[in-house]
Structure 1
Amino acid sequence: MIYMATLWQFFGFPDPEGNTNKIPQPPQESVIEAESVESEVASLEEITDAPHSGSSAIPRGWTGPLTPDGEPFHDMDAYTPSSIGAKIRTALRYVRPDSMHRLPIQGMHRRIQQGDTLIVDLRPLIHMDAHKDACRRQLRHLGEESGVSVFALDLENQLLLIPGVDVVVDVSKHELGLIPVLL
């Protein structure tokens, strides 16, 4: 059985509607069989658990932490953009209407000009179809002013993507990315 990941999982966000793609639990019989197989594997590991030389030797001068197996552990947090001097220019922004059901159009325009990609969520406007249409018109006008297109991410046109000024969306291959260095 194939399970599709949601857009929220793709971007690493929690799913606001809950996890609708839960994997069904296997029948109890297969769980018992899996436990017996795991115990057999564990006993085989105990038998053949001889110290190995390790396929990856510790680099000369290594001062970092080691894994329980004795291999070097590379902490990826040490390689943040601030530590290597790079500055992050663009961001992915999630925007939804405020408590008065308004979109911050001026702030969104500024962010688009800076190159940020916006995901606009109109789903909180559940019973306000006319207001949703007005927000879509505002977003279409914002896209025309900024020189970018507005893309629907769902069938109901309630989750919209507005790429930043330096972001290219390949509509033939449906790929999203930055402007290539060489044109």
Structure 2
Amino acid sequence: MDMGSLWNFFGLPDPEGTSPDSASPPPQAAAAQQPVSLTASQSEETLAQSPSPAPTLPVNQEPDLSRLRTPPLGWNGPVTPDGEAFHDLGVERQRRPQLPNKALRYIAPDVMKRIPTTAMLERVLQGDTAIVDLRSLVHMESHQMACRREIKHMADHARVSVFSLDSEDKLLMIPGQNVVVDMQKHELGLTPLL
């Protein structure tokens, strides 16, 4: 198997530009059909007896353009001798890292034990997911309930749901706008772990 057909076997263009149709045919094996002798005089006679065909060179033969492909529009990479686009997998290209447009925000009550629901609403509408931690309000059960109601009101205004991440409802998650939460395949709280 020659290399041209190996390249074509894998669907790649031939890097040398020769097609399997234009490859030279194997030489005639007329001398191989006659018995081989060990003396030089007989081999010279057999060479003189067998007429060798004159090699024919193609004269003004135009290449077959029907098999050539043009590179895609806007292609600025290397091109094979056949004119096809060549994808060099060894070339490393640096792309600008895209700035993330969504974030995960951790929110805890401030010094005055308040939750900034107005700023939280803006971030949730932008697509950020908020994790609200009410565990610092340990001995303030009524204040925890007031914060939960305020968070629920903010989530209703943003048209998203509030999810509890623990069994005491002290760690709450508010997904951002266009954030998908799988509610079928999750286990929340510490009870399933025990």
TM-score, with length taken from structure 2:
0.47
**Larger Rg belongs to:** 2
TM-score, with length taken from structure 1:
0.50
Q: By percentage of residues, which structure has more helix?
A: 1
Q: By percentage of residues, which structure has more strand?
A: 1
